[in-house]
Structure 1
């Protein structure tokens, strides 16, 4: 079984691992199930516990940590970091609120990250292996792969199913930048392991993650450059919101390089090219926020007769794959790769797969929010989609 590691090896990370992937966990011998869910993140947990609550015999498999990206490498740690950064920023604005500090607030980044890991360990308790088991799902930990159209194998255990759901989430995209080598950059899966504040941070990407963390690190004291090939921040949101965030970022001292593409990195320098020429940006840390890709490459989907499209598992409007007994949800197939979409597609999928609801995915109306300051929230059609 895979060994799970989180850095640094402190009490909070040890607690998170014990809850999401206990080292002493022993998988059952396998068996026949009404439903097998591949993945224990927001989509998988919602699907598994919903089906188990409806009286079905359910197995849920997870290779890494239950809770998935949201709890362990996304929503929870990022919002904990943002909260600390906002507190520092508010304290620096005392004169606006009628109080004065003897000196500007000083950031203890080690303590900030201690709190981030503490909040993650508290949040992960709600998505722990034990919680899924108590809800009626039988949990199997380890790598899962399809062996037949109606069976998967988990660490040598054979699970046969009437219905399966692929909910294996997504991984960060690493763009083809010359000189960029593994271990020399940060993603959402490694940035929360930092113990020292980078003096100079370069962020590549202007989506929600890139914008949220660029502002947070700037408020904590880093010099921040943000590089974006699109010429706007939050390019999938309303133009007015994007412009508002741009003005705020510039006011707070974030250096924006919009309409620039990162072409070479290494030795603490990033070369970016755009219509306005070439810029060389020094950095102590380089953070990639360049999107996400479906994590489905190692599932042996061919053995199950499941087709894969460019952006993930291919599904119809009812979230059913080319195998009529297998569905896919969340980041593994859905273009909106965030937690509310994962939960919404999971509930719809279980209604269709087990209850015969026959509801199309187009019925879903899913809100989302980017936790910059000010925050940007949307629901329904945008002007670009009308």
Structure 2
């Protein structure tokens, strides 16, 4: 057995683990990184990267069918589904070197390609190696949650870990789950020529503002996606080419393939938390505000620490724990400034509190300012006027922003910056957006907040009239 002593041992080479490894080793720490599966984790291999690549393929196909308003004769695209998957593979392959074993070994990280598990509160075993470290980081990510629906064990199904390897286009894809993953894959597939039915046990895009979600869902339905809500799957039967999903209320949906997209579960089965004295908080690792576990030598980041399971959150967590582990400085993780986006067309993005959450928390102190994309010149020029921004404001300070519309995922970054720095509306009003851009939507939302204060205020009008009398 090979014994290794190091400063930091990281279990998992996904977004969080890689960020910590790269940052720590370049600042002088000795780092061991353990990964028993694929470098880059879920995001690179099965999640963010391949899904956005497939969405891009669907976008190209959709553009060929929708050119008439621009004076371009629509044509029915000839979709080679296998070639679209080649595009996905090429995108992943292009990014892979950045997350590779070779790159991290070149930085000075000791990469061990084995799964890691605690064998004591101060030791982790990975293959034939036992690692003792000053600090450990659990960064093992998450996997698709497959609920125990009767019959599913006898039916071939896809998850986000297998759908990108599928080479033949599904004739009719049944998607169980109407969250971001389900909706993104539904739209990508309908644009690539599949029939698609989404079966959601509650409300589609139910974690987002209902008004904003409806803007997206209306467009998805218009593209031909059947969205069944309040449709809890009770039984699944059949085989590839002839699959049936029966819901609790007796509805039956038929399709050729089925994609399970009902959520995520943290990868903790191999880690042996109990041996290390690490407690759980329901299905997550129990951590304090600084992401430290109940074993003071061990931190947890990303999906295993929750509550927001996004790649960029894992990267943010990395910065929090590096500050604590390397410099011994107090560092706490926040969630109020974390944005998220669903990359449908139109996109859906959120940061901070939704309108409903803000009303519950702040009551009558809440103000909501709104602006529709139909009033934006760039959106008009591009024929993409379906969209809305809402900003939730308390005592002149934004506490949340919701955007549904083209490039919402890009636009939400401004509001994430605003919430991260607790800026006031007066400061935001000073920014100037180039014309014509979609960024002006945010600027106009700020203007909508000030309009009644300036133009509908008798006090302001009195002041202006007084000043005009005395100006030379």
Indicate whether the TM-score tops 0.5.
yes
Q: Is the 8 A contact 1:41 1:169 kept in 2?
A: yes
Which deviations, in whole Å up to 9, do the C-alpha atoms of 1:129-157 show, x marking residues without a partner? Answer: 11122222210111211111111111111
Residue 50 (structure 2) pairs with residue 77 (structure 1): yes
Shift of 1:45: 0.3
Q: Is the 8 A contact 1:49 1:135 kept in 2?
A: yes
For 1:315, what is the secondary structure of its paired residue?
Answer: coil
Whole-angstrom CA distance in 2 between matches of 1:100 and 1:376? 29
Whole-angstrom CA distance in 2 between matches of 1:56 and 1:73? 31
Match of 1:271 among 245, 261, 267: 245
**How many residue pairs end up in the alignment?**
355
Distance 1:252 1:383, change over 3 A: same
Match of 1:90 among 49, 53, 63: 63
In structure 2, the partner of 1:259 is: 230
Whole-angstrom CA distance in 1 between matches of 2:148 and 2:85? 30
Whole-angstrom CA distance in 2 between matches of 1:30 and 1:214? 49
1:1-386 matched pairs, under 5 angstroms: 29-101=2-74, 103-181=75-153, 184-231=156-203, 233-267=204-238, 268-273=242-247, 277-362=249-334, 365-386=337-358
Whole-angstrom CA distance in 1 between matches of 2:65 and 2:354? 35
Q: Which residues of structure 1 form unaligned runs of 5+?
A: 1-27
Distance 1:365 1:79, change over 3 A: same
Distance 1:333 1:270, change over 3 A: farther
Q: Is the 8 A contact 2:293 2:299 kept in 1?
A: yes
Q: Is the 8 A contact 2:237 2:245 kept in 1?
A: no
Q: Which residues of structure 2 form unaligned runs of 5+?
A: 359-472
Distance 1:357 1:383, change over 3 A: farther
Which deviations, in whole Å up to 9, do the C-alpha atoms of 1:202-252 show, x marking residues without a partner? Answer: 001111100100010011111100011122x21111222211111011101
Whole-angstrom CA distance in 1 between matches of 2:357 and 2:331? 22
Query: Larger Rg: 1 or 2?
Result: 2
Shift of 1:338: 1.1
Whole-angstrom CA distance in 2 between matches of 1:149 and 1:172? 29
RMSD: 1.6
Whole-angstrom CA distance in 2 between matches of 1:73 and 1:126? 16
Whole-angstrom CA distance in 1 between matches of 2:91 and 2:155? 26
- The structure carrying a bigger helix percent of its residues is 2
TM-score scaled by structure 2?
Answer: 0.73
TM-score scaled by structure 1?
Answer: 0.89
Which deviations, in whole Å up to 9, do the C-alpha atoms of 1:64-102 show, x marking residues without a partner? Answer: 01100000000111011000000000110121221215x
Distance 1:183 1:56, change over 3 A: farther
